[in-house]
Structure 1
Amino acid sequence: MASDTKGVNVIIVGAGIAGLSLGIMLERATDVGIRYTILERAHEFKTIGSSIGLSAQCLRVFDQLGILDDLKSASTNIVGSIYMDQELSVIGRVDSSFCEERYGYGVRLFSRPDLMLALLRHVPEEKIFWGKKVLGLVQDSEGVTVRCADGTTVHGDIVIGADGAYSAVRQSLYETMKKNGAVLKKSETSPLRFDQFSILGTTEKIDHLYKFPEDECKMYNILPSTQEDIYAYTMVFEDGRLGWRLSGPSLARHIKDEANFRFSDWDSESIDDLKRHLSDAPAPIVGTVGKLFEHTESISRILIEDRFYETWWHERTLLIGDACHKVVPAAGQGANQSILDCICLANLLYELPSRDGKDIEKVFTKFYELRAPQARKAVSGSKRLGQLVGAHSFIGTALRTFVLKLMSGSLNVKSLDAMYAGRPILNYLPQIPLKGSLPDNSKPMTFGTTSLGASAV
């Protein structure tokens, strides 16, 4: 029997993948009185972003939630990756066609807008408040109050910062800790490196401009051979659109300062400069980067620095997802790690005994204990992968070629087995049969007070 949370009120800051996923999970936990509100700084939904891959680690819980078919209809099954040099010669292939048989679910490829819209459909409209830019928060023994730029305040028992790499909640959390005499590590407060970033987008339907290089959906990567080369990937959707992303040190020259990078859209001059600089660079399937720009309505940018923060919580405030462990898109793990955070947190909040600060502290402590080791591991792995794909020295490119050959064989299965052996679900919902031939080796994400057992990583 679930414990009585006495109507705990959760404020989720950020209506991204983590915030919406947590909202969906808490929506199914109302039998113990959990209430939630999502605050989003944007005034409306924005169709920005490129492609996102979700693996069996996350798809299983969406299956349990009953929304997997909806997600499948908004996505494409991806069966592998192809790696090429700057001359577009294939230097490696990584197969993922076996994932559904082995792990129960294939790897689903989404455009970010499509995934966001699919998740939005399962969160009641009245639970999301748009145009709520967080300026600060105040915590005390009675709860926490969030102050927004529009002059409003929102009061709750817990604040969950799911507001990304430049988390306003994290900054407010640090300010509170400093006022309370806490000493933060330099790594916690140092700015993200804005000299490492990607530009990305999703094109309109342009299948009339190209033919599929192969019959099934794959990710096509162009790897750099010099520091000036652009690392590019394109993801082919079944409906004829392309998700694309460009990275590389040479892009940094187009950013004047960090403030512009953080808060402004590209102005027309910068867009024109980028087009001139990159228009002739190769982009597999369509031919050149210029064609990607030509057929992409909204171009956005993201930081690509991996970062693990040691401090995830203080008093009644907790960080999840990119706000506390940022994994670059090249690793394909950012969204998956965020959703794993949500599964763990939802399970623990369901068992929250009361709204008392000491009980909340126990939940946050347990959450960090369960999730931090895996998140740290994901960040570390992402850093190594980023160094590998971005290598441009003779030794670096030789090592990359060697590793890609290994990944084209049995090492690929072993590495995915290690990653997907844990496919967690929610404790408080009816369990679903384990799919796939690989056993689930997850550790429990629970205090052990619920009668249903769920797996975790």
Structure 2
Amino acid sequence: MVIHNLDSVSSKAAEQERAWNGENSEWGPVAAKAMIEQTRHYPLPIGTRKMTMGDIYDATPKELISKVMLEEKVFETWYSGRTVLLGDACHKLNPSGAHGAVTSMHDALALANLIYALPSNPTSNDITQAFSEYQTERIPHVMESFENSQLLSKFMNRNITGWVAFFLMKGLPGWVFRITKRKMVQNRPTAGWLQEVDVRGTVAPDVSPSTEKARAVFWERQQGGFK
């Protein structure tokens, strides 16, 4: 994947306006071909011979090459009535942070836990409460991933901001990275409706409210009870 950062907010607005007006030339085969020509010289530090993005382009069927706009946003509304969103539908993260898939899976786990914990004949209020608890649990972790992804995206900028960010990152002491990594792995919800597994690793996970709620219902049902 090749990422081209827009120069300013105004240029992004112009791109969006063209899309809204049905002017989709930016996303067609002509625009993709222009993008290929602009980036085919990018070096690839892989393999035993000197390679560039052009080698990948040449080996890829042209109909599989496309140009898309990447969005970065966290929506305020995640649910309404009996409809609820997860993953990219309610939070789009910059791919530089590589957090998109894991946040989506954590969303799914938290939501599944709370749905499992619903009574057998839930009311509309029960469902709304479950969705509210789901968003309350997930939003702090999503916002942290969102901000970290934005920070990491700065390292990919080929401008003064990118160089400054890269220089500062290289100068950070190791303990700062360890704290960051610890925070990243502490949030790991599990499926509360399955048999609990032993905690492994050197970092204990944070307590997941949805996991705890589903776990309590799981054990109640194991003992013969059912709401």
TM interval, shorter chain, is 0.7 to 0.9
Where do 5+ consecutive residues of structure 2 fail to align?
Answer: 221-227
2:51 is equivalent to residue 290 of structure 1: no
Question: Using the alignment, how far apart are the partners of 2:79 and 2:204 within structure 1?
Answer: 33
Residue 336 (str. 1) matches residue 93 (str. 2): no
Matched, 1:275 2:40: no
Q: 1:310 corresponds to which residue?
A: 76
Instruction: Evaluate the alpha carbon distance shift between residue 264 and residue 302 of structure 1 in structure 2; reply closer, same or farther with a 3 A threshold.
Output: closer
Distance 1:338-1:264 versus aligned 2 partners, 3 A rule? farther
1:450 pairs with one of 214, 217, 220: 217
In the alignment, residue 248 of structure 1 is paired with which amino acid?
Answer: N
Q: Which has the higher strand share?
A: 1
Contact 1:307 1:325 in 2 (8 A): yes
Q: Secondary structure at the match of 1:389?
A: coil
Q: CA deviation at 1:291?
A: 1.2
CA distance, structure 1, for counterparts of residue 176 and residue 23 of structure 2: 39
Q: Deviations over 1:289-331 (max 9, x none)?
A: 2112112232244433320111111111111111111111100
Whether 2:197 is the aligned partner of 1:435: answer: no
Q: Which amino acid aligns with 1:392?
A: N
Cα offset, 1:258, TM superposition: 2.0
The yes-or-no answer on 1:385 pairing with 2:152 is: yes
Contact 2:75 2:91 in 1 (8 A): yes
The equivalent residue for 2:142 is: 375
Q: 1:388: Cα distance to partner?
A: 4.1
* 1:74-85 mapped onto 2 (5 Å cutoff): none
Please show how residues 39-188 of structure 1 align to structure 2 within 5 Å.
Answer: none
- Asked if 1 retains the 8 angstrom alpha-carbon contact of 2:155 and 2:162, the reply is yes
1:247 aligns with 2:4: yes
TM-superposed CA distance for 1:421, in Å, is 1.5
Aligned to 1:215: none
SS of the residue 1:271 aligns to: helix
Distance 2:43 2:3 in 1: 11
Q: In 1, Cα distance between the equivalents of 2:33 and 2:141?
A: 42
Cα distance change, pair 314–425 in 1 and its aligned pair in 2 (3 A): same
1:154-213 per-residue CA deviation (whole Å, 9 max, x = no partner) reads xxxxxxxxxxxxxxxxxxxxxxxxxxxxxxxxxxxxxxxxxxxxxx3xxxxxxxxxxxxx
- Residue 422 of structure 1: CA displacement? 2.6
Distance in 2 between residues matched to 1:425 and 1:316, nearest whole Å: 24
Structure 1 residue identity aligned to 2:107: D
Instruction: Return closer, same or farther for 1:345/1:287 CA change in 2, 3 Å cut-off.
Output: same
Q: Is the 8 A contact 1:275 1:290 kept in 2?
A: yes
User: What is the aligned partner in structure 1 of residue 225 from structure 2?
Assistant: none
Structure-to-structure mapping, 1:353-368, within 5 angstroms? 353=119, 354-368=121-135
CA contact (8 A) 2:194 2:218 kept: no
TM-score, normalised via structure 1 length: 0.40
Decide whether the 8 Å contact of 1:427 with 1:452 is kept in 2. no
Residues 179-218 of structure 1: pairs in structure 2 closer than 5 A: 200=1
- CA distance in 2 between counterparts of 1:442 and 1:330 reads 28
Deviation at 1:275, TM superposition (A): 2.7
Contact 1:391 1:400 in 2 (8 A): no
Question: Residues 434 and 329 of structure 1: is their aligned pair in 2 closer, same or farther, counting only changes over 3 Å?
Answer: same
* Deviation of the 1:351 alpha carbon: 1.0
Letter of the structure 1 residue corresponding to residue 209 of structure 2:
P
- After superposition, what is the alpha-carbon deviation per residue over 1:20-60, rounded to whole angstroms, capped at 9, x for unaligned? xxxxxxxxxxxxxxxxxxxxxxxxxxxxxxxxxxxxxxxxx
Give, in angstroms, the shift of residue 352 of structure 1: 1.3
Amino acid paired to 1:416 = K
Q: Percent identity?
A: 24
Identify the structure with the greater helix proportion: 2
| TM-score, reference length from structure 2 | 0.77
Are 2:97 and 2:149, in contact at CA under 8 Å, matched by a contact in 1? yes
Residue type matched to 1:266 in 2?
G
Query: Conserved in 2, the CA contact under 8 Å of 1:344 and 1:367?
Result: yes
Count, aligned residues: 205
CA distance in 1, matches of 2:75, 2:38: 35
Q: CA deviation at 1:358?
A: 1.4
2:96, 2:188 → 1: CA distance?
22
